[in-house]
Structure 1
Amino acid sequence: MFNPSREQVRQFFIEAWQKYRQKQLVSPLENMAVQLIQQHPEYHELLEKPEAINQDYTVEKGQTNPFLHLSMHLAIQEQVSIDQPPGIKAAYERLAATLDPHEASHRIMEALGEVIWEAQRLNKPLDNERYLELIYRHTSI
């Protein structure tokens, strides 16, 4: 199983954005990352700074971790593409029918963040049933 370090994940996004800006060839995964970065102009300047790889982002300072945010987008895209956990694709499509697809992903991201937090807090595996329950709660907008 691929388990990149924090620095490797950050370097991936920085390099994908750099390749795109320099009109270099990007891999399919890098292309997915670039498309997500394009949807987040607030991250463009940051991704052009190599020192961003070492920066800490804290909730206490009111900061969103752009690398975590983009990584969660990628994870959700993968989950939807393979319908894993089963039912996530239908839930996403239902959300995307009433919301902008990017906003639909953000709604799913809220649920993903909550189940990750719960799993870490309880020192248990991620609860897919809870995850889907939280997502479905958003589909009844």
Structure 2
Amino acid sequence: MFNPSREQVRQFFTETWRKHKSGAILTPLEAMALDWILQHPEYHADLESPQALEADYSVEQGRTNPFLHLSMHLAISEQLSIDQPPGIKAAHQQLLATRDAHEAAHEIMECLGQVVWEAQRLGKPFDNEAYVALILQRATRR
């Protein structure tokens, strides 16, 4: 399994943005990442900043970590493209019945964060079924 370092993740997103701005050809994964970058103009300055590679985006600063946020968008996009965990694609479709695609992705992101936090807190493996169940619960709220 690919497990990039913090520096590699940050370089991936800053390089994707640089390539886009210069008109360079993107890889398929970079093109997918660019779609999310374009939907988050509030992160563009971070992606252009040389300090971004070392910046600390702590909760105390009151700022979202743009690299974590974009990484989660990218992970969710990949999950949806292969329906892994099974059922996530159908749950996403239910969210789309009452939300736009970006809002639906943020709903899924909340669920992903919750299940990852639970797994880390309890020292257990990621619970695919709980993850999809949380998404389905959100799909019925509105």
TM-score (norm 1): 0.97
Residue type of the alignment partner of 2:111:
A
Structure 1 runs of 4+ aligned residues shifted over 6 Å read none
Gap runs ≥5 in structure 1: none
The residue number in structure 2 matching 1:85 is: 85
Cα displacement (A) at 1:129: 1.3
Paired position in structure 1 for 2:68 = 68
TM-score of the aligned structures, taking structure 2 as reference length = 0.96
2:129 paired residue number: 129
Give the total of aligned pairs.
141
Do structure 1's residue 96 and structure 2's residue 103 form an aligned pair? no
- Give the root-mean-square deviation of aligned CA atoms: 0.8
Q: Deviations over 1:95-128 (max 9, x none)?
A: 1121110100000000000011111111111111
Structure 2 partner of 1:3: 3
Quote the Cα distance in structure 2 between the aligned partners of 1:129 and 1:28. 29
Q: CA deviation at 1:70?
A: 0.4
Q: Displacement of 1:61 after TM fit?
A: 2.1
Mapped partners of 1:60, 1:117: distance in 2: 18
Question: Which structure carries more relative contact order (alpha carbon 8 Å, separation 6+)?
Answer: 2
> Could you tell me whether the CA contact under 8 Å between 1:10 and 1:67 is conserved in 2?
yes
* Partner SS state of residue 33, structure 1: helix
Q: CA deviation at 1:94?
A: 1.1
* Contact 1:14–1:50 (8 Å) recurs in 2: no
Alignment partners' CA distance in 2, 1:16 and 1:72: 16
